[in-house]
Amino acid sequence: DTGVSQNPRHKITKRGQNVTFRCDPISEHNRLYWYRQTLGQGPEFLTYFQNEAQLEKSRLLSDRFSAERPKGSFSTLEIQRTEQGDSAMYLCASSLRNQPQHFGDGTRLSIL
């Protein structure tokens, strides 16, 4: 499978715990994006990287959220001190610089 890979597929955690998600983009893609989607809504942009540089962050990305792409390959998204409102599908997408984005299967986060 050469598509975008996200792990884990599902994460259930208690409020207040920290969680980390991983995204492996399509191998030659230099851009990597994170989005969040809640039921009945379209995906909302969180942040994106070009290679290892984080170029834009949404105001949705509070101080509890941090994303990294240390070597310009895979990326991690960490949420600290999770809250009920963090329950959502977290989607990763990748692209070449001037090409459309392709999404992974997502990580569904449920906060108990």
Partner 1 sequence: QKEVEQNSGPLSVPEGAIASLNCTYSDRGSQSFFWYRQYSGKSPELIMFIYSNGDKEDGRFTAQLNKASQYVSLLIRDSQPSDSATYLCAVTLALQKLVFGTGTRLLVSP
**Number of residues in contact with partner 1 under rule CB under 8 A:** 26
Output the smallest distance, CB 88 to partner 1, in A: 13
The region of 21-29, 54-62, 71-79, 80-88 touching partner 1 under the rule CB under 8 A is 54-62
Interface of this chain with partner 1, residues 19 to 48, rule: CB under 8 A: 33, 35, 40-45, 48
Our finding on whether 73 is near partner 1 (CB under 8 A) is no
What angle (nearest 5°) sits at the alpha carbon of residue 101, between those of residues 12 and 52?
Answer: 75
Would you say 10 or 81 has its CB closer to partner 1?
10
Q: Which of 53, 47, 55 lies closest to 71, judged by CA?
A: 53
DSSP state of 39: T
| Coil, strand or helix at 20 | strand
Structure tokens at 98: 């001037």
Distance of CA 1 to the CA centre of its chain: 19
Contact positions vs partner 1 (CB under 8 A): 33, 35, 40-45, 48, 55-56, 58, 89, 91, 93, 95, 97-106
